Homo-oligomer: A and B are copies of this chain.
Amino acid sequence: MSAQVIPLPRKEPSLAPILSLTATAMNAVNAVILDRMQSEIPLIPALAGHLISGGGKRMRPMLTLAGAELIGYQGTRHHKLAAAVEFIHTATLLHDDVVDGSDMRRGKAAANIIFGNPATVLVGDFLFTRSFELMVEDGSLKVLKILSNASSVISEGEVDQLTAQRQIETSEERYLSIISSKTAALFAAASRIAAVVAERGEAEEQALDDYGRNLGIAFQLVDDALDYSSDTAEMGKDRGDDFREGKMTLPVILAYARGTEEERNFWRAAIAGHRTSDADLAHAVELIQSHDAVNATRERARHFAQRAIDALSIFPATKAREAMVEAAQFAVSRGY
C-alpha cells in the first residue's frame, strides 16, 4: 500500500541547499569523526564504522554547521563540537537498536544483529565518552553544560518512551514530551552551540535553539508518520516496527482517539502485542488512513516546522537562512 501522491503547488523542498552550504565544513567534521572513532581495540572502529559509514543524514552536526554559517562564524571550533554531537546521536542509535531489538538501520542489518548486543552496548558507551572528550578539548564550560544537559534529557526521554510502550492510554501531550526529550533536545543543543562558539548574545542562542527544537519535533513526527505510510527502502528500517513494538506514536494516538469502540479494541490488543501479523499491520494502516491520522501528524509537523522557520526571523535574509528554511520545509514534505 502506498500513499497517493498529491503534487505540491510549489517546487519540492530539498536538503540540497543546506548540504551545499555545509559541504566543506562537513568534510572537516567527517575527518574528526573518522579520527576519533579509532581505538587500539579493533572491534570499536569496526562496529562504530558499520553505523557511521552506513550513511545517515548527519542532520544534527549539519545544524551546528548551518548555524555557524548563518551567523558568519569564522573559526573552526564547531567542527569538533559537531562531531561530538554526531557521536552522542550515534551512541543513542546503537543503544536504541539494542533496546528495540532492531533488525535494520539505515537500509542494512543493524549493528546488534551483526556484532551482538553486548558489543553494541559497550561501543555505544565508548562513543558517548569520546563525545565528552571532544567537548572537554574544546574547553567551553557553556557548551559542556548545554550538551551534557541535552544528553541527560535524551536519556530521560528514552526511558520515558520505554515506559509508555504498550500503554494505549498515552496522550498526545505525553508523546510530545517524549519526542521533545529524545529527539528535539539534541537538535536544539546542536543548533544553539553555533551561537555559543561565535560568542553571540542570548537572543541568537535562543533563536537557534528554538529553530533546532521545533525542527526536531517536526522531524520526529514525520518519521513516525512514515512508519505507517512508507516502504522499507524509503525509511531504511522495517516498516511497521513501531506497530510491532507497541510504540505509542501520534498516528496511533489519533487513530485510537478518533476510532469506534470496535477499532479501539483492535488497538488495545495490537499495542499490547497480540496483533503482529502483516494483515494486522495492513488493518492498522487502513484505520490510520481512514481517520486521516498520517495527514494529521504531518499537519502537526508543519506547525512545528513553521515555528522553526519563524524563529530565524531575527537573522538577516541570507543564503544560509534560506537553506535552513528549506531544510525545515523538507522535514515536513519528505516521503510524500
Contacts and interface: CB of A to CB of B under 8 A. Distances in A.
A122 B181 CA distance: 14
Given A100-B118, A126-B156, 18 more contacts: A40-B156, A41-B159, A95-B121, A117-B117, A122-B159, A122-B162, A125-B128, A126-B159, A129-B155, A132-B144, A132-B148, A132-B151, A133-B148, A133-B152, A135-B148, A136-B145, A141-B141, A144-B144
Contact of A155 (B42, B126, B148, B159): B126
Interface in A95-135: 95, 98-100, 117-119, 121-123, 125-126, 128-130, 132-133, 135
A39 B156 CA distance: 8
Interface residues of A, number: 42
A209 B260 CA distance: 66
A149 interface: yes
A118 B149 CA distance: 22
A316 interface: no
A121 B148 contact: no
Given A95-B125, A117-B117, A121-B99, A44 B159 contact: yes
A223 interface: no
A152 B129 contact: yes
Nearest to A123: B159
Contacts of A159: 39, 41, 43-44, 119, 122-123, 126
A129 B42 CA distance: 26
A72 interface: no
Contacts of A322: none
A20 interface: no
Most-contacted residue by chain B among A40, A144, A156 (CB, 10 A)? A156
Contacts of A98: 117-118, 121
Most-contacted residue by chain B among A135, A155, A162 (CB, 10 A)? A155
A160 interface: yes
A163 interface: yes
B136 A139 contact: no
A142 to B, nearest CB: 10
24 contacts: A39-B159, A41-B159, A43-B162, A91-B125, A95-B125, A98-B117, A98-B121, A99-B117, A100-B118, A121-B121, A122-B155, A122-B162, A123-B155, A126-B156, A126-B159, A129-B148, A129-B151, A129-B155, A132-B132, A132-B144, A133-B148, A133-B152, A136-B144, A144-B144
